[in-house]
Structure formats: C-alpha cells, structure tokens
Structure 1
Amino acid sequence: MMERSGNKRFYLGVVLIAIGGLLMLQRLNLIPWDLAEMLISWQMLLVAIGAISLMNGNRVWGVILIGLGVFFLLPEFIDVPREIRRLYWPFMLVLVGAALIYRQHGNRLHMPGGSVGKSFDEFDDFVIFGGREIFINSTNLKGGRSTSIFGGVEYDLRQATLAPEGAIVDCICVFGGTGIKVPLDWQVRNEITTIFGAFTDKRGDTFRHGQLDTSKTIVIKGITLFGGVEIKHV
C-alpha cells in the first residue's frame, strides 16, 4: 500500500516540476509566447490532473479530464465552428454526469467521494476534486498517507487504538485540506511544513494538557500548499 502511495507522490512531483519548469522558461522568454500560453493554461491543468488520476487507477475520471482538456484545446489548433463551441459546457456536464452514474454502480474511485470505513493499520488515500469521510477502527494504527488536491478528506480516528510505537500520518494538501478527529488523550505532534497554508488544532478547551497520554502520540508530517490540516475531537 505504501509503495502505491510513493508512486502517487512521484507522479505528482513530476507534474509539479514540469509546471514549474515551464513557468521558468516562459519567464525567461526561452519558449514562444503562443506555446507558453497553451502549455500554461487551465486546459493543460485538466490534462495533467487527468494523467495523475490515470496513473493512480482512477481511469474514468482520468480519461474524462484528459478528454475535456484536449477538447477545450482544439480551438488552439483548428478552426472550430461556433455551433460546436456552444456545445462545450453542455458536453462537459454530460460527461461528468455519466461518470457519476458509472461510479454509483460500483466503480470505487476517490473523486468525488462519500464516507467509508476502514480497519486497516495503515491507510493511503488520494483525493482530487472531491471529498471523503473515512472512519478507521484499527486496533493497531500505525498511520498512513493522505494526499488531497483541490479537495478534502476527513479521518475519524476516535474509535482507533494506536500501535505501541505511535503513528505517523504524512499529509500533502495542495489547494485542499485534511481533517483528523482524534481521542482527547492522544498527543499530537505537528511536523507539517506550511506554504501559504495552515496547521490548526481546534480541540481548544475540550481537553486539558493533563489528560494527554504521552504513550499515545500521533505525528502529523507533510506539506500544505494553499491548503491546511486540522485536528479536532468533534
């Protein structure tokens, strides 16, 4: 499971490096303006997110996002009649609706989501343009990885029991967020790197530091980029 998560983050890293590299070349005037405008566009963003989805097993949404990106890029290459261009957004709605119906009939995807239950000792979740609420009741929770891009995921760990050595949760939030509900006696250690993001512990007055059990420690690691991680009890 962790190997699959490593692949996911590898692909995300490649995409971010490619986008950053293109932006640098464009700023240095090393690529033609017309080409830069096409490559650094919301249409190509759809293609990139679709490619990530495909590589992570979300075939339906991956194909749809790539198809939409290419469809909206067509006017850059060919002269599309106005009558066809008027069908762009209705066509997109039909595609998204068809994908939702397909997903409802048993295809397990991570975008958008609902609520699921897990008894795994380790978890691995990847959410794009959607949200999931996940209840975990593991009796030996070791931690996991959570990646959210333009979406959010919330974990309810209040019925879980930590492994004797504690747990480590590695979060990546890019224009997204992760919420984690924990028991009152758990000690939470923040090791998040925030870039235009935030880490907040909203338990506030619902617990006293004297109630914390140092033998029950969960470490929150990772990075937030225009996103956030939130710890709470209710």
Structure 2
Amino acid sequence: MRKNLFGVIIILVGIILLLNANGILDVSIGSLISTFWPSVLILIGLFSLITNPASKTGGLIVFIIGVMFQLRNLDYFNIFEYLEFWPVVLILVGLWIIFSSQNKWQKQSKDACNPIAVFSGINLKNSSDKFKGGSATAIFGGIDLDLREAKIIDENEAVIDVFVAFGGLDIYVPNGWNVVVKGIPLFGGWSNKTTNKGNDKLPTLRINCFVMFGGFEIKEYTGVIN
C-alpha cells in the first residue's frame, strides 16, 4: 500500500507538470509547492491512521500539524496569530504521553518500562522474564534502554510506544528477537539494526513510534553499555 500511495503521488505530480507544460493549467510550480506542502503531512497522517491504528496518536498529531499549516497557507485560519508554535507542539506532546499505552503499564513496572527523559539522560535496564512492553519518551533528552536479559512470553509479543522529539533513544535487544517498527518520522527517523527482522516465529517486539527532529536505534548488543 505504501508503494501504491507513492505511485499515486508521482502520477499526480506528473499530470500537473504535463498540463502546465501544455498551457492547460497555468500555475507556478514554486507557488504550488509553497502553498500545498502541508498537504504532504496531512496525507502522511491519514496514511498512518489507516494502515497503523496501533500508533494512531502519532498519525493524528501529524495530521493536525498539517491541517494547521494548510489552513494558514490558504488564508482560511491562522492559528499562529493566536498561539505560538512551540506551545502547540508541547500540547501535542502531552496528548501523546496521555493517550499512549503508558498508563496501561503503570501497575506492571516490573514487567514493563516507561522511561521519560526531558532535558536529561536515562540509562534503564529491564530483566523481566515476562516482559510486556511499555513506552519510552525522549524530549530534548536521551535514553539507553537495555532489554538484553528480558524475555517475551505473553502471546510471544510485547509492544513499546516510542515518542522522540529533539532527542535520541537506543534500544538493546537479545539476538533472538524479531523487532518490528512502525510509525511516523517527521524530520527524524530510526534504524533497526537487528538481524531477525520478519521472523514471526521468534519473540516479537513491536515498536509504534512518532519521531520528530530526532531519532532512535534498535541494536543487538552483546557487550557492555557504557
């Protein structure tokens, strides 16, 4: 579906360029891009909501940001005349924290992890023999999450919600885990360096993420974390 969406976007761009070249559509490409670039964020948000409902909060945040910028560019409503941009971002971050599955794991801290690093750094190790997941939030901070001695038993699957904004996160997992990452990179990204990707027969760690101006890595690690 990702390939089909990208193909549709390329076709639409080609049609616009073709119509413009033949004088059927008289529009400046530069003006078109500067006016409708927020629509890309709207499409990304909708795509995430449709294809990855487990991480719907991240998709909703990107969708809302895209709508705000698009309304401003079309001169329908400029929210930035009433609110500064950064308070809006903080509100959206707060919504992510509230509606992520973090609250779901509060009573199971032994078998879950919920590190939150804000303008700080955290080194956390979880050695649970019934690891169930949790969440990790890094805002202008960094987290090292060591799961090398943890074991996944319940339904052979655990889920972690990840939110990274202007920060970083490293997750260290055992060699025998299958790690699946889904989410939205908004001027950020992630790297899954594990070797068992796609092997559903192994214990599976599912990571639902929203990454904004930051990044995180998943590594198979056998040494000592400094």
Contact 2:139 2:165 in 1 (8 A): yes
Report the equivalent of 1:40.
84
Query: How much does 1:28 deviate?
Result: 3.8
3-state SS in 2 of match to 1:194: strand
The 5-angstrom pairing of residues 1-234 of structure 1 reads 21=68, 28=75, 36=81, 39-40=83-84, 120-165=110-155, 166-203=157-194, 209=196, 214-234=201-221
CA distance in 2, matches of 1:41, 1:190: 29
TM-score (norm 2): 0.51
Structure 1 residues not aligned, in runs of 5+: 1-9, 57-117
Q: Report the CA distance shift for 1:223/1:31 in structure 2 as closer, same or farther (over 3 A).
A: closer
What do you get for the CA RMSD once the two structures are aligned?
4.1
Letter in 2 for 1:174: A
Query: How much does 1:17 deviate?
Result: 6.1
Structure 2 residues not aligned, in runs of 5+: 1-56, 99-107, 222-226
3-state SS in 1 of match to 2:207: strand
Q: Percent identity?
A: 30
3-state SS in 2 of match to 1:120: helix
Q: Report the CA distance shift for 1:22/1:129 in structure 2 as closer, same or farther (over 3 A).
A: farther
Equivalent pairs, count: 150
Contact 1:153 1:178 in 2 (8 A): yes
3-state SS in 1 of match to 2:110: coil
Query: How much does 1:45 deviate?
Result: 8.3
CA distance in 2, matches of 1:39, 1:23: 16
Contact 1:185 1:213 in 2 (8 A): no
Off by >6 Å, runs of 4+ in structure 1: 29-32
Contact 1:175 1:227 in 2 (8 A): yes
Letter in 1 for 2:125: F
CA distance in 1, matches of 2:127, 2:161: 19
Query: How much does 1:39 deviate?
Result: 4.5
CA distance in 2, matches of 1:215, 1:152: 29
Residues 55-85 of structure 1: CA deviation (Å, up to 9, x unaligned): 99xxxxxxxxxxxxxxxxxxxxxxxxxxxxx
Query: How much does 1:131 deviate?
Result: 1.5
Q: Report the CA distance shift for 1:176/1:27 in structure 2 as closer, same or farther (over 3 A).
A: farther
